[in-house]
Chains A and B, each alone.
Chain A
Amino acid sequence: MNGRFIALGIALVALATLPYWMTGVYYINVASQILFYAIFALGLNVLVGYAGLVSLGHAGLFGVTAYAVAYILQLGLGHSLAILGALVISIASMAVYAVLSLRATGIGFIMITLALGEILWGLAYRWISLTGGDNGLNVQTRPEPFGFSLSDVNTFYYATLIVFLLSVGAVTVFVRSPLGAALMGTRDQPRRMNALGYHVWAIRFYACLFSGLLTSVSAIMFVYYTQFISPQTLALTSSAEVLLMVISGGAGTLLGPIVGAGLVVIVKTVVSGFIERWNFLLGAVFVAIVILMPEGLVPGTVRLWRLAWRKRARGAKAVPGSAEAKP
């Protein structure tokens, strides 16, 4: 337990001082990307990991928020209204998305979310008067909360870090709460939960809203980071990428999606600078994860670590008696 606190402390200090020891604007930007993609992955993990509902359409919701921010800004309504408006629109979209997809679970749920994601992608592509079609929408400026201009790389990083920490806190509280326990119960034994008096559908619906909230928060950071949104962001590959972050890091864990986001973003942005076929590398990494630790990087590492630890402990215990054990 103490070791965990120390590790957490070191991680926090490392994140808080990152612009001081990380050289180069490029890498600080990569760190910002990891952080907002981690929020996205945390949001998807609420469904995939804790509700047992695999969504393949989250990039569509992510896109709705990003387009909403860009569109409201184009109307000249300012950043606060753009962010608030985007959150409201996204939660409303998520509610519709949830009502439609929660008619099923398992494969059925995956297929409905896939279809909904594709519909949103199609809308972004074809509804040109609203989305600009293939050309996308530009976001001219970044906001300046409390006089801190987010146009500055370091300031943007710190803003993302704060939002990230708040999101991690929110997920931590949720997972430990009665509603979180109920959600995990509906994942493992929906029938039993119903017989115990829980409204399984409503619990899943609230989980979808929470997941949607985190998704839209990360999308707001994303659209201010890239200052551009195009249909590409809503494509199925984006949904799959976030799902891979969750699964590779470890679904149903707090740390897993964050590690997964780090892995995917680093391979995509940094490693792709050195290796042209980075997709191939990412694929190979995933195959390795699936073979070596199918439960994901974080739980897998914990398992291997414990195994090694137990072996060592057993080895140490076996030493005094080993003389007679040997033939």
Chain B
Amino acid sequence: MTALTVSGLCKSFGGLHVTTDVNLNVEPGERRLIIGPNGAGKTTLFNLITGELTPDSGMIKLFDRDITHVPSRRRAHLGMARTYQIITLFARDTIIHNVTLALLGLSPSRWNPLIDLKRQGHFVEHARAALERVGLGHIANRPLAQTSYGERRRVEIAMALTQNPKVLLLDEPFAGLSIDERRDVKELLLAIPRDVTIVMIEHNMDVALEFAERITLLHFGEVIVEGNRAEVVANPRTREVYLGH
């Protein structure tokens, strides 16, 4: 059984082929890194996997279940969570409310118009626990507008983790972080248990290479190289398109 299977996936925006016949097989518990230069179609691939975009052709399977035509919101209920490269949070609310919304998204009580959300103790507890896990417990009640960029990145991760995903898609979790923050986030990601499969897009090679077991290199929407760390780094095509001369 594979955690995530992508086969023959294609997507074009007009004449631009953003994803061309992409195949991926991610094993349960694997740490997969997707790299590629700007415009290689990495985020598009994520958007196709999470269902925010509909592929032109091809198939996506989550634990052998065909989810190609399952709406994006249902995929969250099936155990898929993601973070965004461009921070996508609820800026008017507190940190803990952001995480609470993530928890509520998978709970049937999200349809309830009659109870007081702030009095739902289990949500508050869970959200607080998730924030403790990413080291933000002490500022849980701070409005998001008053947090730093690095803290927001961690809120993104806390929101994804709190949904207990089976497959976690991280879109450049280190983007824009300082060296210290990068180390914190790396430790945070390394602490995620192995029952969570992680697929990560990252530009920051030194941190990412350390984290990943298998690496897929995308270029102009195509998979150019795939293999373990050593293979991909040693491959001449990797040097050609990505690592530079």
| A and B: bona fide binding partners | yes
For the complex, is B149 an interface residue (Cβ under 8 Å from A)? Answer: no
B117 touches A191 (CB 8 A): no
For the complex, is B132 an interface residue (Cβ under 8 Å from A)? Answer: no
A54-76: CB near B (< 8 Å → 1, else 0) gives 00000000000000000000000
Q: Which of A171-179, A286-294, A301-309, A317-325 contacts B (4 or more CB under 8 A)?
A: A171-179
Chain A residues closer than 8 Å to B89, beta-carbon distance: 189, 192
A176 touches B90 (CB 8 A): no
For the complex, is A188 an interface residue (Cβ under 8 Å from B)? Answer: yes
Query: Smallest Cβ distance from A239 to chain B, in angstroms?
Result: 26
Chain A residues closer than 8 Å to B120, beta-carbon distance: 178
Q: How big is chain B's contact interface, by range?
A: 35 or more
- Cα(A184)–Cα(B110), bound, Å: 12
Chain A residues closer than 8 Å to B73, beta-carbon distance: 194-200
Majority SS of interface residues in chain A? Answer: helix
Question: Which residues in chain A, 161-213, are within 8 Å of chain B measured between CB atoms?
Answer: 173-174, 176-182, 184-185, 188-189, 191-200, 206, 210
Q: Which residue of B lies closest to A207 (CB)?
A: B113
Query: Smallest Cβ distance from A110 to chain B, in angstroms?
Result: 22
Query: Smallest Cβ distance from B212 to chain A, in angstroms?
Result: 23
Between-chain CB contacts (< 8 Å), 25 pairs: A174-B113, A176-B117, A177-B113, A178-B104, A178-B111, A178-B115, A178-B120, A181-B104, A182-B104, A182-B110, A188-B91, A188-B92, A189-B88, A189-B89, A192-B84, A194-B72, A195-B50, A195-B52, A195-B72, A195-B76, A196-B101, A196-B102, A197-B77, A197-B105, A200-B73
Beyond A182-B101, A195-B52, A195-B81, 13 additional contacts (C-beta under 8 Å) are A173-B114, A173-B116, A178-B115, A179-B110, A179-B111, A188-B92, A193-B101, A193-B105, A195-B76, A196-B73, A196-B106, A197-B73, A197-B163
B residues sitting closer than 8 Å to A (CB atoms) are 50, 52, 72-74, 76-77, 81-82, 84, 88-92, 97, 100-102, 104-107, 109-118, 120, 159, 163
